């Protein structure tokens, strides 16, 4: 076990039982012409965390620790996308409609791929999730249990939507969760700040938060 300097108090990292989860670092959220951009967001905010996230992935890769990449992705016939989800958002472009990088949030489309600098390697787990949370309709809990994973380190976008939802789902399933605060981002800085405060409130009601430097220092 290795102790990581974190808030609200040190996090016990257990090598062999810890996986990295990189949430939705896909072109649809990070690049111009994708879903996030179509909603009128400044995607440069999210692109800025790519180098930190790459360092975090590298830390896990060098030690052969498990890495899970998620994508928010729907089947081409949208049978896994509730009409309520399709209806919301930008009145111009909805999930399944065609943007500059193909159909928005549809599996297999160019915009649905993880950005080139963070592309998964063979052997890493890639999970297509139809929901905001990574456990809904993915079977991931069963896979993690089979790998004897009890601890999850989180990165990715957006902090208050898919990262927070996934972390809360994981917390309810008994995982000890650590969010790397400079490897996650939101289109809205105030939402990221509020999410971090919510996670660590009341003795870590959802989990822990630390900068990447704390992880790197612990495993230097
Ligand atoms: C959103 C996500 N924001 N990955 N998805 O719709 O956070």
Q: Kindly give the residue spans of alpha helices, DSSP state H, lying in 49-206.
A: 50-62, 83-87, 140-146, 164-172, 189-204
Token pair recorded at residue 72: 């928010």
Helix 164-172 × helix 189-204 angle, to 10°: 20
Cβ-based neighbour number of residue 193 at 10 Å: 14
pLDDT value, residue 91: 67
Q: Please choose, from the candidates 125, 143, 26, the residue with its C-alpha nearest in 3D space to the C-alpha of residue 74.
A: 26
d(CA 1, CA 10): 12
Token pair recorded at residue 178: 């650590």
Q: What is the CA radius of gyration of the chain?
A: 17
Average per-residue pLDDT for the chain: 97
> Three-class SS of residue 216?
helix
Token pair recorded at residue 88: 């919301």
Closest C-alpha to ligand 1, atom 5 = 162
Closest C-alpha to ligand 1, atom 2 = 162
Pocket residue to mutate for ligand 1, from 38, 104, 158, most atoms within 8 A of Cβ:
158
Torsion of CA 72, 77, 82, 85, to 10 degrees: 60
Contact 67, 125 (CB under 8 A): yes
Token pair recorded at residue 111: 């915009």
Pocket residue to mutate for ligand 1, from 162, 163, 185, 192, most atoms within 8 A of Cβ:
162
pLDDT value, residue 101: 97
- Percent of the chain at pLDDT exceeding 70: 99
pLDDT value, residue 160: 98
Q: Mean of the pLDDT values across residues 47-59?
A: 98
Please give the angle made by the CA atoms of 43, 117 and 191, to the nearest 5 degrees: 35
For residue range 27-42, list pLDDT tens digits in order: 999 999 999 999 999 9
pTM of the model: 0.98
d(CA 31, CA 46): 9
For residue range 8-28, list pLDDT tens digits in order: 999 999 999 999 999 999 999
Cα 190 to ligand 1 centroid, rounded to whole Å: 16
Looking at 68-77, 81-90, 137-146, 165-174, which range is the least confident one?
81-90
Token pair recorded at residue 3: 């102790």
d(CA 21, CA 50): 14
Cα 123 to ligand 1 centroid, rounded to whole Å: 25
Cα 157 to ligand 1 centroid, rounded to whole Å: 6
| Sequence-ordered strand ranges (E) for 24-159 | 67-72, 98-99, 102-103, 125-129, 151-157
For residue range 91-140, list pLDDT tens digits in order: 678 999 999 999 999 999 999 999 999 999 999 999 999 999 999 999 99
């Amino acid at each position: 076990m290795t102790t990581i300097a974190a808030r609200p108090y040190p996090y016990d990292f257990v090598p062999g039982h810890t996986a990295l989860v990189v949430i939705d670092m896909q072109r649809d959220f990070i690049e111009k012409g994708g879903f996030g951009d179509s909603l009128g967001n400044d995607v440069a905010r999210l692109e800025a965390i790519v180098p930190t996230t790459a360092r975090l992935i590298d830390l896990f890769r060098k030690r052969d620790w498990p890495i899970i990449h998620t994508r928010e992705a729907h089947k081409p016939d949208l049978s896994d996308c509730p009409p309520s989800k399709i209806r919301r958002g930008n009145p111009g472009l909805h999930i399944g409609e065609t943007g500059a990088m193909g159909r928005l949030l549809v599996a297999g489309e160019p915009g649905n791929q993880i950005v080139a600098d963070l592309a998964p390697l063979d052997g890493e787990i890639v999970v297509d999730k139809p929901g905001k949370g990574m456990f809904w309709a993915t079977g991931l809990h069963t896979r993690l249990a089979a790998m004897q994973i009890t601890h999850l380190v989180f990165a990715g976008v957006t902090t208050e939507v898919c990262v927070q939802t996934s972390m809360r789902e994981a917390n309810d399933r008994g995982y000890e969760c650590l969010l790397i605060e400079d490897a996650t981002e939101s289109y809205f800085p105030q939402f990221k700040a509020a999410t971090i405060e919510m996670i660590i409130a009341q003795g870590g009601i959802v989990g822990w938060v630390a900068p990447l430097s704390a992880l790197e220092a612990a495993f230097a």
